Amino acid sequence: MIQLKAYDKEKLDKLSIDDLTHTFMDIIKEQTSVLIDGIESLIDENFKEVNNKLNYVIQTKTEVKIKKRFESKIFKSKLMFSKADRLKIFSKINDIKNIGEFLANKMLLYKIIFPDKEFKIHLKEIIISLRNISDDISYAVKSIGTDLIKAHDICEKIKEERRKMRKQEFDLLKRLWAYDMDYLSRTFLYIKELIEGIMMLADHIKDFAEYIQFLSTKYLIFD
Amino acid sequence: MVDEISFSLVSILVIMGISLAFAIGANDETLSALVGAGVIKFRIALIVGGIATAFGMILFSQNVGKTVGEDILGSGVKYTDFMLLAVLISSIIWLIIGSLAGIPLSSTHSTVGSIFGVLIVYALSQGGINLESALNYDKLLEVVLGWFFSPALGLLVTFIIFKIVAKFYLSRLRGLNQIEKAEKNFNWLLLVTVIFAEIWVGANSAECIGIFYGIYSSNFITIEQYWISVIICGIFVFLGIFFAGRFVIRNLASHMTNARPSEGVILQSSSALILMIATFLGLPISHSHVIVFCIIGLNLSQKKEIDKKGILKMGLYWVLTFPVAAILAGLLYWIFIFFGLS
């Protein structure tokens, strides 16, 4: 299992608001990555790994320390006209964790056997896209401080990927509804909720990307 | 008995004039950009802004005061105490109407309009003075032209300054950290430009100093008493900002925490520049009109949308201010004359 770095108070105190945001983003990205690994293990029907990874996502609270430090630092900070936007960026990163944790909890409710191999392949494709946009949003967040144009372009890529995911989602749902299963079967419900949970996370990342694009428009001045 | 009435009236006029100085301070929103940016502590900002406005009013308001208090009148025409009373009352009534309608009306336009109204009634009711000689129409035309040119110039200056600053500086900033750092530097410039702007807001407060100049030029008070009144007005404009203006400033500042200090610097420096030129030319202009057009200039330069309906509504009230204030003041003065109080 991945071990997160320890962040002591002294070390955190030395970090700037921007550094704290990046550190927070790294932790959330790492947790999202573990969550996606967990979904992959679920597709591979390796339930021991699923438990390990999803419990790791649920139980890890390293980010709370950073969140508290960030909040106290930004609250006291002066001369920041972007204060409100920085707070919102942080809260949107935090929401990635919240949605991930919610999805992890749901996934642990039942041990599912997928209907067929084809379905698994399609689901894995969505997972690859989710991993891509999760990595990209992290790059975009880190680019906000140094290059808003780059951040804007990365977000455009995220939106494009998310559009692709939406199509994949409907293909999967179509496939799901076409199976000869009782509509109340736990497998059916579980898969439906799993797909919706993954898309909820993807939708949030896409909203976040749009927010970063809004910030680029707001702050960049072109001659 | 007549002297007693006159003394009482002049005392009332002086008190009303000083109250007007307090009201000018109470309604001054120039400091809100500075407070919103959090450059200095709120109380310190009020003190610095108040001192700057008082300083401007005491030292530089004579030109504008002379225009309103003397130059605008026809040759040989002097204010009577009831004329000034009618001017003050009608200005106040029209400003209250504007406040109730939620429109930032110009007290300068209102005062000059009122003066026009009472002088017309004066010319019509008094023998020996006709409409042509009641007013100095050349000066009046200069003043009115100033009302049109000053906002237009404010828009143009802001547009040009922003384009220059954007081309050579702001457009080169790529990341939020870099922008933040640059804006921090603009914070200190904002402090300087707001102080500069406050000086010229005080200096161009024609509605207040003009009344005192009128009282002085009509020989109701001596030059020493005039200067004492100007200094008292300076003190009251400071008190107005410190005790009453804080509410307007705090309210507006709370909406400006996200505003870019660089934009504040451009807006304040443009409007201050226009006010300064107008003050040196002895032209009483409206600060609120200038700042609104500076904001329009800033929005145009950034290709932002402009609230055309809002501007049209505001424009209508601005155009109406002069005739309405003139009719109101004329009517009031006519009532005074009717009761033998000319």
pLDDT digit string (tens) for B141-151? Answer: 999 999 999 99
Instruction: Tell me phi and psi for residue A221, to 5 degrees.
Output: -120, 125
Average pLDDT over residues A11-24: 90
> Rounded CA gap, B194 and B186, in Å?
12
Cα radius of gyration rounded to whole Å, chain A: 19
- Is B255 in a helix, a strand, or coil? coil
Chain B residue numbers touching A84 (CB-CB < 8 A): 257-258
In a domain, B280, yes or no: yes
B339, part of any domain: no
Please report whether residue B340 resides in a domain. Answer: no
Residue B7 per-residue DSSP state = H
Residue ranges making up the domain that contains B147: 2-334
Give per-residue pLDDT as tens, A173-183: 999 988 877 65
pLDDT in tens, B49-88: 999 999 999 999 999 999 999 999 988 888 888 999 999 8
B255 reaches A (C-beta below 8 A): no
Rounded to a whole number of angstroms, the distance from the CA of B249 to the nearest CA of chain A is 17
ipTM, two decimals: 0.85
pLDDT in tens, B196-249: 999 999 999 878 899 899 999 988 899 999 999 999 999 999 999 999 888 878
Cβ distance B180 to A222 less than 8 Å, yes or no, reads no
Two structure tokens written together for B298: 């800033």
Does the distance separating the beta carbons of A84 and B171 come in below 8 Å?
no
Q: pLDDT, tens digit, for every residue of B16-51?
A: 889 888 888 888 888 988 888 888 889 999 999 999
Query: Whole-angstrom Cα distance, residue B238 to residue B58?
Result: 11
Q: Which residues contact B153 (CB under 8 A, 6 or more apart)?
A: B274
Q: Which element (helix H / strand E) includes B226?
A: helix B223-239
- DSSP 3-state assignment of B241? helix
CB B240 within 8 A of CB B26: yes
Instruction: Give the residue on B whose Cα is nearest the Cα of A222.
Output: B171
Q: Give backbone dihedrals phi and psi of B41, rounded to 5 degrees, phi first.
A: -65, 150
Rounded (10°) angle between helices A83-107 and A186-219 = 170
Residue B162 belongs to some domain of the structure: yes
Rounded CA separation B166/B170 (Å): 4
Nearest CA in chain B to A140: B175
B204: nearest Cα among B14, B62, B8, B23: B62
Token pair of B238, please? Answer: 């400071």
- Asked whether residue B57 is assigned to any structural domain, the reply reads yes
**A9-220 CATH:** 1.20.58.220
CA gap A55, A57 in Å, rounded: 5
The domain locations on chain A are 9-220
Contact A160, A72 (CB under 8 A): no
CB contact under 8 A, A147 and B38: no
pLDDT tens, residue by residue, A123-152: 999 999 999 999 999 999 999 999 999 999
Handedness of CA A88, A90, A92, A98 (dihedral sign): negative
